[in-house]
Amino acid sequence: MNFAHGLPIFSVSIGIMKNSEIIAGVIYDVMNDTIFSAEKGSGSFQNGRKIFVSENSDIEKSLLVTGFPYNIKENPDFAIERFNKFLMNSRGVRRLGSAAIDLCYVANGTFDGFWEVNLQPWDMCAGLLLVEEASGITSDFKNKNTDIFTKQLLATNGKVHNDMIKVLSEK
């Protein structure tokens, strides 16, 4: 959508799976000429420099990011209410319109957490590995393991993960 409308926040995202496990991922942030990459067990990198999630542990000081599904008017999974709750419980919430880039920015510590519903496998495959290899945590909204077919995604620095789970459980 961003690309189609000339908004310069879009990427090329490639994730590689073997036996249902993500083993490598690359996301190219085209307009910033930035390559994010990760290989299982080897860490996450931004233009060849190792990156890590943020150290912030206070949700009230967190900068968060989210996206809205294409059917937002149907308010799937209480997306609007959850957005409002995070506005009230964090320092700020951004919406860039690219889940792949959102996950890159959690991995490099720009954002403390990301949540979204109804993503597609290609939206998150590489990004999940980037966050995890940068010492972050990914789960669904009930803190259960996630994969590329999960319809709820939470990705954080790990330090605000439980606080974000609490907010996500409120309706």
How much is the average pLDDT of 152-162?
98
Helix or strand (DSSP H, E) at 123: helix 121-133
Reading the block at residue 110, the tokens are 């720009």
**Euclidean distance between CA atoms 82 and 54, whole angstroms:** 22
Q: What is the pLDDT of residue 69?
A: 81
Residue owning tokens 């000429």? 33
Q: What is the pLDDT of residue 171?
A: 66
Question: Can you list the domains of the chain with their CATH numbers?
Answer: 11-169 (3.40.190.80)
The answer, yes or no, to whether residue 42 has pLDDT greater than 80, is: yes
- Which of 11, 3, 23, 22 is CA-nearest to residue 99? 11
- Its pTM stands at 0.95
**What are the phi and psi torsion angles at 80 (to 5°)?**
-70, -45
Measured in whole angstroms, how far is the alpha carbon of residue 91 from the centre of its chain? 17
Provide the residue type at 51 as one letter: I
On the 0-12 / 13-18 / 19+ scale of CB atoms within 10 A, 165 is middle
How much is the average pLDDT of 29-57?
98
